[in-house]
């Protein structure tokens, strides 16, 4: 008789066949069903939000697996700051699940680069780990060294919202020819979208025709506290 091999759920610890038990997975925080297709901000009719209409970002759309709140935020924190690399494929699998309805996949995947100083401190790039899994299991070319982060900036989380775009300005360099390509930008979290937008601007200059943000989680503060990514 074959004995099934069980593992422990990464959240609650009970034995399970998957990385997450069914109850834990079913209770992960989901995005609003009606959201802007470009930045994922909740809107009543799932149409492009006012911010993206007024000031269109350089990226075409954003796809996220989850909303950035507990326990997804704890999982991402464990990956980034506790070097729990086993979390990366778990998060990547969830993103692949969210991409099943995508009609047109990109030509290449570019992970959000880290500045060399930050990379030495952390020892790895979490976006690269996620992107590597996506590339392998989706058959999409990964361009790991196509872009560089040339400006060592303070973490965005340590800044006031209004200063994030200024902080990240001219932070990236990309020399690869992307003429006519559909690019997937991979990152762990999208908060205001300022970092993704700044890199997307650089990719546009290199000829990218379409840019999809693929992120694990989207931060969605209370609407009465702050507006979408453009602030």
Is the per-residue pLDDT at 181 higher than 90? Answer: yes
Is the peptide bond between 71 and the residue preceding it cis, with omega within 30 degrees of 0? yes
Q: How many CB atoms lie within 10 A of CB 86?
A: 11
Q: What is the 3-state secondary structure (H, E, C) of 158-181?
A: HCCHHHHHHHHCCCEEECCCCCCC
d(C-alpha 158, C-alpha 44), whole Å:
31
Phi/psi for 111 (5° steps) reads -75, 145
Strand partners, 110: 185
Kindly report, residue by residue over 141-157, the tens digit of the pLDDT: 999 989 999 988 766 66
Kindly report, residue by residue over 52-78, the tens digit of the pLDDT: 999 999 999 999 999 999 999 999 999
Q: Which sequence spans correspond to the domains of the chain?
A: 1-30, 35-218
Locate tokens 């919202």: which residue?
A: 161
Cα angle, residue 41 at apex, residues 38 and 43 outer, rounded to 5°: 105
Judged by DSSP in three states, 108 sits in: strand
| 35-218 to CATH, choices 3.40.630.10, 3.40.50.2020, 3.40.190.90, 3.40.1380.20 | 3.40.50.2020
Locate tokens 């500045």: which residue?
A: 115
Q: How many CB atoms lie within 10 A of CB 214?
A: 27
d(C-alpha 148, C-alpha 174), whole Å:
6
Kindly report, residue by residue over 110-146, the tens digit of the pLDDT: 999 999 999 999 999 999 999 999 999 999 999 998 9
What is the band of 35 on the pLDDT scale with cuts at 50, 70, 90? very high
pTM of the complete model: 0.90
- Which pLDDT score is estimated for 154? 65
Q: How many CB atoms lie within 10 A of CB 68?
A: 21
Mean per-residue pLDDT, 11-22: 94
With b for 16 or more beta-carbon neighbours within 10 A and e for fewer, the 12-37 pattern comes to: eeeebeebbbeebbeebeebeeebbe
């Amino acid at each position: 008789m074959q004995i099934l091999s069980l593992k422990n759920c990464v959240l609650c610890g009970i034995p399970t066949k998957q990385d997450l038990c069914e109850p834990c997975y079913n209770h992960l925080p989901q995005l609003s069903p009606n959201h802007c297709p470009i930045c994922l901000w909740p809107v009543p009719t799932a149409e492009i939000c006012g911010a993206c209409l007024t000031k269109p970002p350089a990226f075409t759309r954003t796809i996220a697996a989850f909303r950035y709140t507990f326990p997804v935020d704890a999982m991402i924190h464990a990956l980034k700051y506790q070097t729990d690399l086993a979390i990366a494929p778990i998060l990547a699998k969830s993103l692949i699940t969210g991409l099943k309805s995508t009609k047109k996949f990109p030509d290449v995947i570019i992970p959000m680069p880290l500045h060399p100083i930050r990379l030495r401190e952390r020892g790895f790039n979490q976006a690269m780990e996620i992107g590597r899994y996506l590339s392998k299991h989706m058959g999409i070319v990964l361009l790991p060294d196509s872009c560089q982060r040339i400006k060592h900036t303070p973490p965005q989380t340590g800044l006031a919202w209004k200063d994030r775009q200024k902080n990240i300005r001219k932070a990236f360099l990309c020399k690869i020819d992307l003429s006519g390509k559909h690019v997937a930008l991979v990152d762990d979290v999208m908060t205001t979208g300022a970092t993704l937008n700044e890199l997307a601007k650089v990719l546009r200059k290199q000829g990218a025709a379409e840019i999809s943000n693929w992120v694990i989680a989207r931060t969605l503060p209370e609407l009465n506290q702050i507006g979408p990514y453009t602030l």
